[in-house]
Amino acid sequence: MTKILVIAEHEKGAPKKLTLNTLEFARQVVAHAGGSYDLAVLGSGVGGVAQALTGYGADAVYVADHPDLAHVLAGPYAKVIADLAQRAGADLVCMSASSAGKDVLPRVAVRLQAGMASDVVGVVQTAQGLAYRRPMWAGNLTGDVVVETPVQVVSVRASAFDALAATGGASPLVEVAADPQAASARVRYVGFEGVVSSRPDLAEASVVVAGGRGLKDRFNQITEPLADLLGGAIGASRAAVDDGYAPNDYQVGQTGKVVAPQLYFAIAISGAVQHLAGMKNSKVIVAINKNADEPIFKVADYGLVADAFVAVPELVGKIKALRA
């Protein structure tokens, strides 16, 4: 029997979809091992977020509301989460493998003396017990990991799990007295410079239009009209980022974001293994590349050998004509 504590992530007063994906992971663990899950909402003025999460089958929604938790800082968050895990009697603490999850969870694991599995994409029953499936070696291998400590910590690759649908019911809200101060001293929040965009978040978009080095300084000119037409987010290869054609937060891949949209356009991207690690689980992959021998075509559902500077504007024109 497992008691799971799911750490909710939220933005602008609403739960992020990542939280629902992480809840689906928790549901799968419960389906294999029995037990139940609680949710934890940390922040300042987060009553509305907690309320919005009461319909997802948690035994309790813990609310740690404190001014020092207004911004996700790993030290204070890890302390409050570890305190809460002990209070809830949790033997598994999980959160999505977002930037925040990657920052916070290892510290939680240290505080709880827990073994940790990162970037988990599945839950499997093995002869050795319940195992967490996770990619290794830039996604070239998939390993099943059994964590042997009494308390476990898991970061969940959100794109590998569907969002848990609301189950109905009403989990009780439990206010907890959070004490982040002891861990606040060494780091101070200065500011947040977010990218202002009307496009969907890259990690959550159902369509991603990604461009590579081949687009050169016409990166925006080629990717933006197609992304806007399809309501998609824009992604990029690392080479496009390194060469200054696309901003850092567009990067998809081993050292960028991991995405699994319904539709992924790889335009002038060669398909290096490090790029594939971030997008190969996309439902439908369309590759446009002028070189037919590139490895991107091995993972593509649809491949177009063409000059992107000609083919993409033509595609945009055709979609517009069809819609008209």
Ligand X SMILES: Cc1cc2nc3c(=O)[nH]c(=O)nc-3n(C[C@H](O)[C@H](O)[C@H](O)COP(=O)(O)OP(=O)(O)OC[C@H]3O[C@@H](n4cnc5c(N)ncnc54)[C@H](O)[C@@H]3O)c2cc1C
Residues in contact with ligand X by CB under 6 A are 212-214, 237-240, 251-256, 268-270, 272, 274-275, 278, 289-291, 294, 307-309
Nearer to ligand X, 60 or 210 (CB): 210
CA distance 235 to 311: 18
Shortest Å, Cβ 254 to ligand X: 4
Shortest Å, Cβ 12 to ligand X: 28
Nearer to ligand X, 152 or 251 (CB): 251
Nearer to ligand X, 74 or 138 (CB): 138
Nearer to ligand X, 234 or 252 (CB): 252
* Residue entry with tokens 């996700």: 72
One-letter amino acid of 232: G
Shortest Å, Cβ 313 to ligand X: 12
Shortest Å, Cβ 307 to ligand X: 5
Nearer to ligand X, 126 or 248 (CB): 248
Residue 172, class by beta-carbon neighbours within 10 Å (0-12 exposed, 13-18 middle, 19+ buried)? exposed
Nearer to ligand X, 167 or 248 (CB): 248
Shortest Å, Cβ 55 to ligand X: 36
Reading the block at residue 262, the tokens are 């319904």
Nearer to ligand X, 57 or 256 (CB): 256
Reading the block at residue 152, the tokens are 């476990």
CA distance 96 to 167: 20
Nearer to ligand X, 115 or 313 (CB): 313
CA distance 114 to 101: 16
Residue number, nearest CB to ligand X: 253
Nearer to ligand X, 63 or 241 (CB): 241
Shortest Å, Cβ 131 to ligand X: 26
Shortest Å, Cβ 121 to ligand X: 17
Pairing mode of beta strands 263-267, 284-289:
parallel
Residue 184, class by beta-carbon neighbours within 10 Å (0-12 exposed, 13-18 middle, 19+ buried)? middle
Shortest Å, Cβ 16 to ligand X: 22
Shortest Å, Cβ 9 to ligand X: 22
